[in-house]
Amino acid sequence: MDTQKQTDILIVGAGIAGLVAAERAMKIFKKVCLVTSSKICSGASYFPLKATLGIQATKDKDDRNKYYEDITNMGKGVENPDLIKTYISNIKKDIYLLKKIGFKPWLRKDSRAACFAKYSRDVFLINNWNDARKKAKKIFRKNKRLKIFEESILLRIIKNGDKVAGAVFQNKDKLFFIKSKVIILATGGVAGNYKNSLYPKNINGVGNVAALDAGAVAQNMEFIQFIPAYLKPKYNVLFGEHTLKYCIGMYDIENKLLIDGIENENTKKLWIERSAYAPFSNDFESKEIDLKIPFEGVKLKYSKNLYKDKEEFYRVYLNWLKKDIGIDLLKDETIITHFAHSCNGGIKIDSNAFTGVKGLYAVGELSSAIEGANRLGGNSVGSALVFGNNAVKNAYKYIKNNNFDDFNNIKLNNIKKEFDNWVNEISKDDKENNLTRNEVLIKIRNLVSENLSVVRNKEKIETLLNELNNIRANYSIKENIKEGSIEVYLIIESVKIMALSMLEREESRGAHYRDDFKYSADKVYKLQVKRENNKIIINKIYN
């Protein structure tokens, strides 16, 4: 580590949450630094293989109580009420922030309720990812207040006493330190650690571990939503659940019937119910359909009436699927399975996205925002807008109202010494060095998909944890630092956090399903995660 840079505010992550925070920060801070592990505009919300992305917004004053009811109803007691109220009050006025980062949102015309919502309300849509990406690059690259570091991995947050003082990053084989009084993390969730996920693979939970090591707390890490997507004829394309209303049968890959479709009166109600929501949930009878979908996938057959439905939601999706992706659901043999999607849990924050660690904020799917056991459709991007905006405003107040007299005395040599001591500590368990970085990542993603997907149990989770120990015993952090071994260590720790949370929740609730604990417990609790001395600690907090 031989370079040090300084900024007024440091934003880590360049998806929608990070870009909103950066755009807001450029209005009030002289020096803004944006760091991303990939390129800008590469977060989960820029994932290109979907027709549109929706943002659910409060319709009017009369809708506030209904919206609160919708969110809490599906949160199943582990949601965050204060953040919900903040979101409901602010989302409508914050939609315009999408225009500030290159999108052109429009109001959907139909009255179809968003996924998991009982009541219909305003849903704004965005698409044209490539155009939005081009516009964003023009907006951000031309601003002289902003310094952008791409393909740089967050490794460690550095503190000066009880305040953040900056962070250490790695770009290829080089380490560098960015000094900052404020850090806004927008590094995304953990779903990139699954083999099958609707996420870029670089969104892998590294930010969660860095935040925990800085003293933050995580919660609800076991609640990951899984959505069906295509394995064939084109991999990683989002499946339109609304088409299930026209499904006439589900078959395994050997063409054996698994469950009858809508033409059977005994199963029709299951398909109608399942067509109304995208992610798997334990809270509906139609979970029977999801539980019959194996890792290798299923085939669906459709009624000819599918393409006769003129509702906007059908027309936009089916036209996009046929024109842009080349899939005709009546002509093509398609195979779908569950893909990891939204992460409902993350770093615990308040309504200003403050983590409890002075100077540290978390926004987007890195944070545990308004959702609980389930996430309503259209709330993910909306949360990024509201809490990204709030984080910047609160960060400005934090700097203005605090004393930083000793900030200029922070020396690079001291940072390097502290960082090296940490590396020595996390690498003390190094044994053999038989695996490459790529081999480790492939093994992890396969293990996570096989053991931590829709159906979980104690045996599967413990199998994963044991295999992670075997991987660690055959991969040296110290010998592979230039090849990115510290990031690999952080990925392993993020998977452990996820697995241990799933193991500790001995019930099924919302997006979390265990076939050895099929029912929800009577007492509602949250699992809060801390890290002390590089060890994971999970506490059960009852409501």
328-343 tens-digit pLDDT: 999 999 999 999 988 9
Residue 28, pLDDT > 90, answer: yes
Gap between the Cα atoms of 228 and 124, Å rounded: 23
CA distance 377 to 123: 10
Least confident piece of the model among 76-80, 348-352, 412-416: 412-416
pLDDT over threshold 80, residue 1: no
The pLDDT confidence band at residue 409, using thresholds 50, 70 and 90, is confident
- Euclidean distance between CA atoms 491 and 19, whole angstroms: 24
pTM of the full predicted structure?
0.95
- Letter string b/e over residues 199-235, b meaning 16 or more CB atoms within 10 A of that residue's CB: bbebbbbbbbbbbbbbbbbbbbbbbbbbbbbbbeeee
Closest of 227, 210, 208 to residue 495, by C-alpha: 208
pLDDT tier, 314 (very low <50, low <70, confident <90, very high otherwise): confident
Q: Averaged over 206-227, what is the pLDDT? A: 97
Strand order in the sheet with 122-126: 53-57, 122-126, 106-107
User: What is the DSSP track for 292-343?
Assistant: T--TT-EEEEE-GGGGG---HHHHHHHHHIIIII---TTTS--EEEEEEEEE
**Alpha carbon distance 33, 11 (integer Å):** 6
Lowest average pLDDT, out of 37-46, 358-367, 504-513, goes to: 37-46
- Give pLDDT tens digits for 64-112: 999 999 999 999 999 999 999 999 999 999 999 999 999 999 999 888 8
Contacts 24+ apart (CB under 8 A), 244-249: 244/271, 244/274, 244/275, 244/289, 244/300, 245/271, 245/272, 245/275, 246/302, 246/303, 246/305, 246/306, 246/309, 247/271, 247/300, 247/301, 247/302, 247/303, 248/301, 248/302, 248/303, 249/300, 249/301
What domains sit in the chain, N to C, each tagged with a CATH number?
Answer: 4-223+342-403 (3.50.50.60), 225-341 (no CATH), 411-542 (1.20.58.100)
Query: Strand locations in 344-486, DSSP E?
Result: 346-348, 360-362, 367-368
Average pLDDT rounded to a whole number, residues 432-446? 97
C-alpha closest to that of 221 among 537, 487, 500: 500
175-185: average pLDDT: 97
Confidence of residue 360 (pLDDT cuts 50, 70, 90): very high
pLDDT of residue 98: 97
Average pLDDT over residues 21-26: 98
Distances (CA, A) of 212 to 189, 394, 409: 14, 21, 25
Tell me the HSE value of 409 on the side-chain side, using a 13 A CA sphere. 5
Contact present, 123 and 94 (Cβ < 8 Å): no
Q: Which long-range contacts (CB under 8 A, 24 or more apart) does 464-468 make?
A: 464/495, 464/499, 465/496, 465/499, 465/500, 465/503, 467/443, 468/444, 468/492, 468/495, 468/496, 468/499
Q: What is the CA radius of gyration of the chain?
A: 23
Q: How far is Cα 247 from Cα 270, in angstroms, rounded to an integer?
A: 11
Q: Are 15 and 367 in contact (CB under 8 A)?
A: no
DSSP 196: S
What percent of the chain lies above the pLDDT cut of 90?
Answer: 87
What pLDDT sits at residue 48? 56
Spatial separation of the C-alpha atoms in residues 321 and 329, rounded to whole Å: 9
Which position has the token pair 């394995």?
Answer: 231
Q: What is the dihedral of CA 177, 180, 182, 183, to 10 degrees?
A: -20
For residue 217, give the DSSP letter. Answer: -
Do 515 and 457 contact (CB within 8 A), yes or no? yes
Q: Residue 169: which of 189, 187, 149, 186 has the closest Cα?
A: 149
CA distances from 62 to 119, 331, 382, 477 (A): 12, 45, 19, 56
Task: Tell me which residue has tokens 């590089």.
Answer: 534
Residues 6+ apart with CB under 8 A from 510: 74, 75, 76, 78, 223, 281, 282, 283, 344, 372, 373, 374
pLDDT of 193 reads 97
At 215, the amino acid letter reads G
- Per residue in 228-283, pLDDT (tens digit) is 999 999 998 889 999 999 999 999 999 999 999 999 999 999 999 999 899 999 99
Q: Give me the pLDDT at residue 50, please.
A: 66
CA angle 44, 461, 470 (to 5 degrees): 95
Helix (H, G, I), strand (E, B) or coil at 389: helix
